[in-house]
Amino acid sequence: MSRRIGRLTAVSALALACLVAPGSAAVATACAGENTSTGGAFADGGELSPAKAEAAQRKLKTGTPRIGQVSIPVHFHVISDGAKGAVSIQRLSKQVDVLNQTFSGTGFAFTAASATSYDRADLFYDQSLTSPPGAREIAMKKAMRKGGVRDLNIYTVQTDESALGWATFPWDYKENPQLDGVILNHDVLPGGAFVGLSTGKIGTHEVGHWLGLLHTFQGVGCEPPGDYVDDTPAQDTASRGGCPTSQDSCPSPGDDPIHNHMDYTNDLCRTMFTPGQVTRMQQAWNAFRA
């Protein structure tokens, strides 16, 4: 049974086989994750190793900046335990609006393609950022994912304490296409319960990863190459919540990029991508998703 509202369709889905995820969270190397917090801050569950970041950079150099607009279909998968975790069509639509607002001028636009709801308590609770991905995450994505390399799949669940969200990188698609996508805690979508983190901009941050961006504090200390983007000032450590004006963790010119969507300040503080980041996203699209 389904019902169509605007461009989104809400569908009651058949159950999947219940699988149990591994018990302990590990540092993520293939995904980028954001830890839970209700105080207006979020933090990372894992960084790319220098070797993996460099390998991705070598592949990315084959891509050239794309001229013109790319329209990305967005498929939402709303996993819930009855009413707990249910996300309305209106909130999903607002999330797409936030993506279009925050990626305006980057060459990427987002179109709501579908929304499917799953009343699955066994998949809803305590989804965890692990490396490799847990069995429940793998089963969920393999059964639910829609579209191809150009389609953005967003899964909403209740994450455990390891993360508020995480994303796969575009260079991992070829090896694991069925795992491609973004996982978000249902309460970080617009109108959610997390203080300072429920305007939809964690979605922006994770989609930034999905399009090939690294954290502004990627790497070891203040040393280059950092996030491989020349116009983001060097940053030693992640910002931890709020909006710490004039924070400067490295001796090189420029304060920390606290307003950048790829740092960890609160939603209101994060407002921008740099031209260099736009170029990198376009290069990554051409190299891995075009």
Residue ranges per domain, the chain?
1-17+66-195
Give residue 30's pLDDT: 31
Give residue 67's pLDDT: 67
Active site residues: 206
Better-scored residue on pLDDT, 157 or 22:
157
Please say if the pLDDT value at position 16 is more than 60.
Answer: no
Give residue 72's pLDDT: 98
Q: Which of 97, 76, 94, 73 is nearest to 85 (CA)?
A: 76
Give residue 163's pLDDT: 83
Give residue 6's pLDDT: 38
Least confident range from 107-111, 125-129, 210-214: namely 125-129
**At 179, phi and psi to the nearest 5?**
-95, -5
Write the pLDDT tens digit of every residue in 183-203: 999 999 999 998 899 999 999
Please say if the pLDDT value at position 34 is more than 60.
Answer: no
Angle (deg, nearest 10), helices 89-102 and 201-210? 60
Stated pTM of the model: 0.85
Write the pLDDT tens digit of every residue in 143-172: 999 999 999 999 999 998 778 999 999 999
Q: How confident is the prediction for the chain on average, in pLDDT?
A: 83
Better-scored residue on pLDDT, 128 or 65:
128
Would you give the distance in Å from CA 2 to the centre of its chain? 27
Write the pLDDT tens digit of every residue in 256-278: 999 999 999 999 999 999 999 99
Give residue 197's pLDDT: 92
Give residue 241's pLDDT: 74
Give residue 51's pLDDT: 87
Least confident range from 30-34, 67-71, 118-122: namely 30-34
Please say if the pLDDT value at position 7 is more than 80.
Answer: no
Please say if the pLDDT value at position 44 is more than 70.
Answer: no
Rounded mean pLDDT, 214-234: 91
User: In CATH, what number does 1-17+66-195 get?
Assistant: 3.40.390.10
Please say if the pLDDT value at position 48 is more than 90.
Answer: no
